[in-house]
A = this chain, B = another copy of it.
Amino acid sequence: MSLEDRVDELVSEIAAVDHEAARQARTRHDSLIKPKGSLGRLEELGIRLAAIAGTCPPPVPQNPAVVVAAGDHGVLAQGVSPWPQEVTAAMVAGFCDGHAAVNALALVAGARVTVLDVGVASDLPSHPRLRRAKVRPGTSDLCVGPAMSRSEAAAAVVAGAGVAQELIGAGVDLLVAGEMGIANTTPAACLIAAFTGRSPEEVTGRGTGIDDATWEVKVKVVRAALEFHRPEVSDPLGVLAAIGGLEHAALVGLILAGAAGRVPIVQDGVSTNAAALVARALAPRVGDYLIAGHRSVEPGASIALQSMGLEPLVDLGMRLGEGTGGLLAVQIVQAAAAALRDMATFEEAGIA
């Protein structure tokens, strides 16, 4: 089977969420010992979890995992970021050693950390936390040609799906999408512009905190890439290959396999949201399995979430990536499920 066929197979494995379970959750919420609707969006989230799990009450996630997909980017040569490419590998080493923000936040969320190398420019030493599935050592410059080939994009999707399947097989019941890759907000902006139709100025943000001059370069690069490739959203894999990143492709696979396994996927920032747009274009049902963990400062993140009808759970002005914003939502997701599972109804409590 070709890599593209394996992507198609993944897509075909995604079932519709269970609207009957959602209906049961909605009815149950109205019977629990509280004023109707008083848990606000926590009720909506519980209903979504019931639909994903296909049962009410939905299980309370006990084994969350964050997957940090990593890759490098040829477009860095255009000057879209002040950080050198070597920082990607250095941060991956930090994730493995447990000294990065994602490790700190995963610890308090009770989440395991898995790092996936699909495209870091340098060779990385093996580590128990690292899945080595390098497709190529970074993309080509998407300004002057495709970032990667279709089969490379498909290979990264399959690698991301493989990690999700491994984790789900090991009992993981909540996936948090994370990423690392110097310059990766540029392909993220390209993807978001392509799939939402918004302008380069609207979707391009300041990433790690670039200055005005660098931002203008970045907008020009995004515009040039879109003009060069003329992305056709009816061919999501083609768009991903032309203007995406290897870690974005891996996250597409993570999202597809998570949905196929009926495991909710908590989104982090702009790169995970860009990947979600690609995944949803491949498999429209995927949208129902996504949870927007937080609202990143990046404007493209809000544009992507809005186009998917997702409202973030946390909004703390963060713009780090790695899965950090998604991890902050883990307890909220658990709470939404626990309310449906643990609360008594007025009838059970003997309150008229």
Task: Give me the interface of A with B, judged by CB distance under 8 Å.
Answer: 32-42, 60, 87, 90-91, 93-94, 97-101, 103-105, 107-109, 208-209, 297, 313-320, 324, 327-328, 330-332, 334-335, 338-339, 341-344, 348-351
Contacts and interface: CB of A to CB of B under 8 A. Distances in A.
Nearest to A317: B40
Contact of A330 (B103, B316, B331): B331
A309 to B, nearest CB: 17
Nearest to A339: B104
B105 A338 contact: yes
8 contacts: A33-B94, A34-B101, A38-B209, A100-B343, A108-B335, A108-B338, A314-B332, A316-B332
Given A99-B342, A99-B349, A107-B342, 19 more contacts: A32-B101, A33-B91, A33-B101, A35-B319, A37-B209, A40-B317, A41-B318, A42-B328, A87-B351, A94-B349, A99-B344, A100-B344, A104-B335, A104-B338, A105-B338, A105-B339, A108-B334, A313-B316, A315-B315
Contacts of A103: 342-343
Contacts of A297: 40
A226 B194 CA distance: 58
B34 A99 contact: no
A108 to B, nearest CB: 4
- The 3 A-B residue pairs with the shortest CB-CB distance in the complex, in nearest-first order: A40-B317, A99-B344, A331-B331
Contacts of A60: 108
Given A91-B33, A99-B348, A108-B60, A42 B316 contact: yes
